[in-house]
Amino acid sequence: MKIPATWRGRTGLIVSDAFIKLLLFDVLWCMGTTFRAMSDIGLYINAILAALIIGLVYVVTRRFWVAISALFIVDGILIANLMYCRTYFTAIPLDSYLLAGNLSDFTASVVDSMRWLDIILPLSTIAAWVIGRRIRNIFPRHFTLCYLATLAAMAIIATLTALCRGGFRAHYSRLQESCYYTTCTTPIYTVGGSAIYDLISGNSRTLDTEGRERLEAWMQAKEQLRPHKPLPDSIPGRDNLVIILCESLESWVIDREIDGVTITPVLDSLIADSTTFYAPNVLTQVAAGRSIDCQLLLNAGMLPMQSSVYSMRYPQNRYFTLNQALAEKNGARSYILTCDKPIVWNQEPIARAFGIDTLLTRSSWRNDEMVGNPAKLSDGSFMRQAVEKMRNGEIWPVGENAFMQFVTYSGHNPFRLPEQLRTVTFSDRFPDRMRDYMMMAHYTDSSIGTLISYLRSRPDYDRTLIVITGDHEGLAMDRPLILDDPDARGIVSPGQFTPLIILNSPVAGRYDGILGQADIYPTLLNLMKLDTYQWKGMGQSILDPNKVPFAISSMTGELVGDTTAIPAPLFDNIRSARSISDLIISTDALRSGKDD
């Protein structure tokens, strides 16, 4: 069969290369997530449409070098999204393209997310350039009209395919909420489709009647199915709350001895204390926002957005938070301490959104001992200087009720601790990344010991609840590679669990069931005796005997835990929590309550 003149020559070459490139991207994406998307007809229809759109550059300009340049730009966008997916399991949110300057703060992590296979994409462009130089231009009569007609026909097919599934936006949203297809959205609809979804899903800033009815129905169902239950009056509360968010801390390193070395001796001793409450199986529920999503989960009891980062898209929102609940109860002053710049993840406006009184960032510290690339203040120096400021009364002077949140940094991927700070070593029979992670965990553990020692010396320690947890899991897509090693298997957890360690808890003990990070907020409401606060969060306290021991990952949509005996209404309420949280954030639905 003779190929039509329109598709002979460089036009067909450019479109073919773009289509192959998009399929290669899908394969690389699915290698780290799931190959379910590859069986969806929409993937191929949308890839053809996207390839035709890319080829339009050549049709309009009729300049081969311009078309090749466009293909290289596409390569860059696709590779950037692959790198992003390897940490966040999603495409780059539309807002984040404007934050490229922030990458200077995460250089090591960016380099670490690269893979040699990614070079296939630009190599395909180079191949097209080499072949195209030997092919003459063919622009038959009505060339542009024929091309546009083909493009329009493909657009109609893609539109009809989406309409058969309820429409693009509805189908995309369903995929995001599915435990099996949450990472399939970008391969099926391409990177461009993900950007379009971000754009249209963020347009509305008002809560319409339908949205309000949906929100109210969900809240009523939650109150009936998962009511917040206060602890008995005989159990005392606490006046001060200290939260230590440890960068990338996972549970498997705790209470673990390797090669005769105890990885976290400080945390191990704290867990053994008779006044400690410990839950080792906290499922990571952060999404694209990572650390800042953790603050949303713990401080405000809400789940991250489905396709964007709340701190970047809606930094002006207002939330009900633990620190404000504590301020209402006893006038507590609130502090967030971080060694990052205030612009990283928009930490400064989010501190305002949470009602934080004082934010200490990079410029607040002597940057005398640095870790990472680019270098940031080490956990050891961070904790020593924080203790110094508290001793001097610069922050949390004795006699003041306080909410304190420490955000550490040293445990950030790729976990490379400078030689002079290494106090332990592990056998080279383990994968390098695993050994680096264990050494870093040991170092952060020691740094936490400095802070805990000081807190225990304060006269208000008995009135202080101290929470230690990981802001999220750390190994991301390195986990499968590590677990392939026989020496690592059985040590490194296949699950994405962070620990929850609560010191000086009025309820001591251990919870071995599965919980999500969203369940920490209502648990702390219980322990702090803040149960009358108007916002109870989207999770459920693990001190409630009716708590169902399962959670849903925001990154993968995976259901973790036992769901066999869960009634359908309860399961649906928990599963739809994230879309409701997205609705609340995108419409700033809590502001009216804050302004009352």
Q: What CATH number corresponds to the domain at position 530?
A: 3.40.720.10
How many residues appear in the chain?
596
Question: What is the structure's pLDDT at 568?
Answer: 93
Phi-psi bin for 254: left (phi > 0), alpha (psi -120 to 50), beta? beta
How far apart, in whole angstroms, are the C-alpha atoms of residue 550 and residue 178?
A: 16
Q: Is residue 25 part of a domain?
A: yes
Higher-pLDDT residue of 352, 9? 352
Q: Which residues contact 202 (CB under 8 A, 6 or more apart)?
A: 94, 308, 313, 586
Are residues 45 and 69 part of one domain?
yes
Question: What is the structure's pLDDT at 84?
Answer: 81
- The boundaries of the domain holding residue 165 are 5-201
Are residues 329 and 247 part of one domain?
yes
Question: What is the structure's pLDDT at 177?
Answer: 57
Q: Categorize the per-residue pLDDT at 102 as very low, low, confident or very high, splitting at 50, 70 and 90.
A: low
Compute the Cα dihedral for 548, 549, 550, 551 and give only its sign.
Answer: positive
Cβ atoms of 81 and 44 within 8 Å: the answer is: no
How far apart, in whole angstroms, are the C-alpha atoms of residue 406 and residue 541?
A: 23
Are residues 519 and 493 part of one domain?
yes
Out of 74-78, 292-296, 345-349, which region has the weakest mean confidence (pLDDT)? 345-349
Are residues 343 and 281 part of one domain?
yes
Per-residue pLDDT for 336 more than 80?
yes
Q: Is residue 134 part of a domain?
A: yes
Cα radius of gyration (the chain): 26
Element (H, E) at 283: strand 277-283
Mean pLDDT over residues 395-404, rounded?
Answer: 97
Q: Is residue 153 part of a domain?
A: yes
Q: Is residue 210 part of a domain?
A: no
Least Cα distance to 120 among 36, 41, 29, 189 occurs for 29
Cβ atoms of 431 and 424 within 8 Å: the answer is: no
Q: Categorize the per-residue pLDDT at 24 as very low, low, confident or very high, splitting at 50, 70 and 90.
A: very high
Element (H, E) at 243: strand 240-246
Compute the Cα dihedral for 359, 363, 368, 373 and give only its sign.
Answer: positive
Cβ atoms of 515 and 547 within 8 Å: the answer is: yes
Are residues 385 and 263 part of one domain?
yes
Least Cα distance to 41 among 135, 208, 164 occurs for 164
Question: What is the structure's pLDDT at 557?
Answer: 84
Q: How far, in Å, are 25, 43, 460 from residue 457 at the CA level? A: 55, 60, 9
How far apart, in whole angstroms, are the C-alpha atoms of residue 399 and residue 412?
A: 35
Q: Categorize the per-residue pLDDT at 88 as very low, low, confident or very high, splitting at 50, 70 and 90.
A: low
Per-residue pLDDT for 138 more than 90?
no
Question: What is the structure's pLDDT at 262?
Answer: 97
Are residues 196 and 235 part of one domain?
no
Are residues 85 and 222 part of one domain?
no
Domain count, the chain: 2
Are residues 224 and 182 part of one domain?
no
Give the chain's mean pLDDT: 91
Cβ atoms of 13 and 128 within 8 Å: the answer is: yes
Are residues 575 and 437 part of one domain?
yes
Per-residue pLDDT for 476 more than 90?
no
Q: Categorize the per-residue pLDDT at 34 as very low, low, confident or very high, splitting at 50, 70 and 90.
A: confident
Cβ atoms of 470 and 441 within 8 Å: the answer is: no
Per-residue pLDDT for 208 more than 60?
yes
Are residues 286 and 146 part of one domain?
no
Phi-psi bin for 397: left (phi > 0), alpha (psi -120 to 50), beta? beta
